[in-house]
Amino acid sequence: MNGSNGLRDKLLRFMQGRYGADGLFYFMTAVYLALVFLNIFFHSWTLHILSLAVFVLTVLRSLSRNIEKRRRENEIFMTAVNKLRARAARSRRMREQSEDYYFKKCPGCKKMLRLPRVSGTHSTRCPACGEQFKVNIKPFRGKRTRAS
């Protein structure tokens, strides 16, 4: 018991003032493990060096005393992750609604428009920028998600 506590104290003291783990740390660890796993099949020196580089960077980041800089790196990373998540959520929502709605980007302002799914060619006007354009809506062919 005492021995392991001593080790923990030593570790805590060592990590004091150092950055530690964050979202980017876990992501880089996952990338490192994925590269190591891939290299079981590829036996490539490039992959080997790359995985070592990722590992060293991951460890150096967590031991860094430049906490502000590491925090900013993580912030940039998390912003990108959140953007991807939002995009995935949006395309999931679009898929779920595609039986009732047809999604079309406005050719004028690139805003995504949700149109009622009525098959045929229609003339429509973007509510955001007023651009008028024709849209050809095909009948729904995906998997039905609601009973009707």
Give me the residues that bind Zn ion (CB under 5 A), please: 106, 108-109, 111, 126, 128-129, 131
| Distances in whole angstroms, Cα of residue 81 to Cα of each of 43, 45, 86, 88, 115 | 30, 30, 9, 11, 29
Give the shortest CB-135-to-Zn ion separation in angstroms.
12
Give the shortest CB-102-to-Zn ion separation in angstroms.
16
Give the shortest CB-108-to-Zn ion separation in angstroms.
4
φ, ψ for residue 106, nearest 5 deg = -65, 130
Smaller CB distance to Zn ion: residue 87 or 110?
Answer: 110
Give the shortest CB-109-to-Zn ion separation in angstroms.
3
Residue 141: half-sphere exposure toward Cβ, Cα within 13 Å? 4
Query: What whole-number distance in Å separates Cα of residue 23 and Cα of residue 35?
Result: 18
Smaller CB distance to Zn ion: residue 115 or 129?
Answer: 129
Smaller CB distance to Zn ion: residue 54 or 106?
Answer: 106
Smaller CB distance to Zn ion: residue 57 or 128?
Answer: 128
Q: Note whether 128 and 110 are within 8 A (CB).
A: no
Which residues 6+ apart lie within 8 Å of 137 measured at CB?
102, 115, 117, 118, 119, 120, 121, 122
